[in-house]
Amino acid sequence: MVAVSTVTFDASPSSVALAVATLGGLVGAVAAAVDPLVASIAVCAGAALPLAVYYRSHSALAFAAGTLFVAVLLAGLVGASPPRVLLGVGAAVVAWDAGSNGLTVGAQLGADATTRSVELVHVAGTVCVALVVAVASFLVFDAVGTLAPTALVLLIVAAVILAWLLER
């Protein structure tokens, strides 16, 4: 008689993805806390980010990050300072990217694989790109002068649309 062993594959995301999604959700929610309604939307979205990663849902992660992104933009429209808006937008993007990467790596390699250094490098790269975009956006906003915060929000929306079109 031959003994057959079964191996189960655990596709759970890493703790790095969960931690970055949690931190990004927290930073984004704090950045959007300028109005009670906007803050409540941002807190719900920020809390949903790590839950989406934990339950391995790409669509819930995208929805939570998108909602946090919109909440931060709304905070900009109701009076948040440009650096605060850029910080919140960057945090939402980094949380989404790290969570999505963690879900993909977990699904491909499994929870037993040692991926911490690779994921940290990915997060560092994403933070660097977000920082460059934030600094460039702020410099453009500052160079234009005393336009309303609506200009910053429209600049961010235009950058997102451009990135989306370039990805297609």
pLDDT at position 139: 81
Q: What is the pLDDT of residue 13?
A: 86
Give the pLDDT confidence score for residue 136 in this predicted structure.
Answer: 83
What are the domain boundaries of the chain? 15-167
pTM (2 decimals)?
0.84
d(C-alpha 104, C-alpha 88), whole Å: 24
**With the C-alpha atoms ordered 82, 154, 47, 14, is the resulting torsion angle positive or negative?**
negative
Four-point Cα dihedral 133, 138, 144, 148, nearest 10: 110
What pLDDT, on a 0 to 100 scale, did the predictor assign at position 168?
Answer: 55
Q: Looking at residue 111, what is its pLDDT?
A: 78
Tell me, what's the pLDDT at 145? Answer: 66
pLDDT in tens, the chain (168 residues): 677 777 677 778 888 999 999 999 999 999 999 999 999 999 999 999 999 999 999 999 999 999 999 999 999 889 888 899 999 999 999 999 999 999 999 888 887 888 889 999 999 998 998 888 888 888 877 777 666 667 767 777 777 776 666 565
Q: How far apart are CA 52 and CA 26, in angstroms?
A: 15
Q: Cα(145)–Cα(129) distance, rounded to whole angstroms?
A: 25
